[in-house]
Amino acid sequence: MKRLATVALAAAALAGTALSALAEDFKIGLSNGWVGSEWRTQMIEEAEQAAAAWKEKGVNVEVVAQSANVDVPGQIAHVRNFISQGVDAIIINPNSPTAFDPVFAQAKEAGILVIATDAEVSSPDAIYVGIDQKGWAMESAKWLAETLEGEGKVVAINGVAGHPANEMRVAGYREVFGEHEGIEIVNEVNANWDQAQGQQAMQNLLATYPDIDGVWVQDGMAAGAWRSIMDADKAGDIAATGEIRKDFIDIWTENDLNSGASVNPPGVMASALNVAVLMLQGRELKEPATAGQYNNAMYLPIPFISSENLKEVAASVEGKPGYYSYTSSLSIEDAEALFK
C-alpha cells in the first residue's frame, strides 16, 4: 500500500510539472504618458482586469504599468525601460504619432510586440488597436450638424493641442462642418481635456458669442461646458455634444439636454491587451491591421449615446462614481473571433 501511495504521489507530481510546462507566461508593459484625467486611470485598471481574466484560461499575464505626466522623451524612456526588462509586449497610449519610430524599431529587434492604443503611430514596427479618432469626431459632428439642420454658428472646445488624438478629432469635425455651407465655426479653443478648463472656456465663449447655436466639445470637458450653458440659461437654445462620464450622463438625464456623444471607451487598452496575448500565442489575424493613415490600424467599433439609448446607458453606470466613464472592450472571446 505504501508503494502504491508513493507511485500515486509521484505521478501526481509529474502531472503537475507537465501542466506547469504547458502554462503560458507573458509580461506586458503598459505605458501611459499623461494622467490628467480619471479616464486614463480607468484605462489602466481595465487593462489590469483583462490581464487577470486570462488566468482562467491557464495564461499568466503579468502587467507592468508606467503611468505619469511625461513629455515625449519621458515616454520614450518608458519604452526603453520595458525593453531592458525583457517584456514580451508593450502597449502604449502615445504622446506623439511619429517620435517613437526609432525606439519601436529597437523593441522589434528585441522580439517585443508593440501595440499603440487611443492614438495612432506611424511606426511600421507597431500596430494600432483602438477607435478611429477622426471617425469618433465625425460621428458627433454629424449629430450636431443634423440637429442644427445644417445651419448655425458653432464653437469648438478641444483637448491638448498637438496630441495625435486631438489633431485627428479636429480634422474630423472640420471635415463634417465643411460639408455644410450654413454652418460657421466662429471659434476653436483648447481646454486640455480638463472639466474645469472646459467650463471656463465655455463661459468665455458665451460672453463673446452669446448667439451661438451649437458647441462641439470633446469628452473630459463636456460636463463643464454644459454647466456654463445651463448657468447662462441657454440649455434650451444650444445643442452641444456630450461625454461618457457618469456625472455628465446624470446631468443629461435629469435635464433632458439636447446632446449626443461618441464613445471612446477606456476599455481600448484592455482590448489591445487581449489582442496582444493572442498574437504572442502565435495566432494570426483574419484581417491584417492595415487601416488608418499609417496602414497599421485595427479599428474598434465606436458606440454612440443619444436620446434613443440614454436610459440604457444610464442604467449601465448606475452605482458607479461620477468620474466613471461608460465603457466597452473586446472580451477574450471577442478578440479570439478576430483570429484564425
pLDDT tens-digit profile of 43-56? 999 999 999 999 99
Q: Report pLDDT for 6.
A: 34
Question: 233: alpha, beta or left, given left = phi > 0 and alpha = psi -120 to 50?
Answer: left
Shared fold status for 2-131+266-302+323-336 and 133-262: yes
| pLDDT reading at 20 higher than 50 | no
Reduced to 3 states (helix: H, G, I; strand: E, B; else coil), residue 85 is helix
| pLDDT reading at 289 higher than 50 | yes
Q: Report pLDDT for 164.
A: 86
| pLDDT reading at 2 higher than 60 | no
**pTM of the predicted model, to two decimals?**
0.88
The residue-averaged pLDDT of 267-295 equals: 97
Query: With the CA atoms of 240, 242, 248 and 251 taken in that order, what torsion angle do they form, in degrees rounded to the nearest 10?
Result: 30
| pLDDT reading at 142 higher than 60 | yes
pLDDT tens-digit profile of 25-83? 999 999 999 897 899 999 999 999 999 999 999 999 999 999 999 999 999 999 999 99
Degrees to nearest 5, angle at CA 166 with 141 and 338:
80
pLDDT-derived band at 288 (thresholds 50, 70, 90) equals: very high
Which of these ranges, 201-205, 214-218, 244-248, 280-284, has the smallest mean pLDDT? 244-248
| pLDDT reading at 311 higher than 70 | yes
* Per CATH, domain 2-131+266-302+323-336 is 3.40.50.2300: yes
CB atoms within 10 A of CB 25: 10
Angstrom distance (rounded) from CA 245 to CA 125: 34
| pLDDT reading at 5 higher than 70 | no
Angle between helices 268-280 and 38-53 (to 10 degrees): 30
Residue 91 β-bridge partners: 30, 115
Secondary structure (DSSP) of 186-197? EEEEE-TT-HHH
The residue-averaged pLDDT of 257-273 equals: 98
Q: Report pLDDT for 231.
A: 97
Q: Report pLDDT for 16.
A: 38
- Which CATH number does 133-262 carry? 3.40.50.2300
Q: Report pLDDT for 301.
A: 95
Domains of the chain by residue range: 2-131+266-302+323-336, 133-262
* Nearest to 147, CA basis, from 229, 239, 236: 239
* Nearest to 29, CA basis, from 74, 79, 72: 79
The residue-averaged pLDDT of 173-202 equals: 97
The residue-averaged pLDDT of 167-174 equals: 97
Q: Report pLDDT for 36.
A: 79
| pLDDT reading at 186 higher than 60 | yes
In sign, the C-alpha dihedral spanning 118, 159, 37, 223 is: negative
Beta strands in the chain (DSSP E): 24-32, 59-67, 89-93, 113-116, 127-130, 151-158, 182-190, 214-217, 239-241, 259-262, 297-299, 304-305
Angstrom distance (rounded) from CA 92 to CA 269: 8
What percentage of the chain reaches a pLDDT higher than 70? 93
Mean residue pLDDT of the chain comes to 92
Q: Report pLDDT for 23.
A: 58
The residue-averaged pLDDT of 290-309 equals: 97
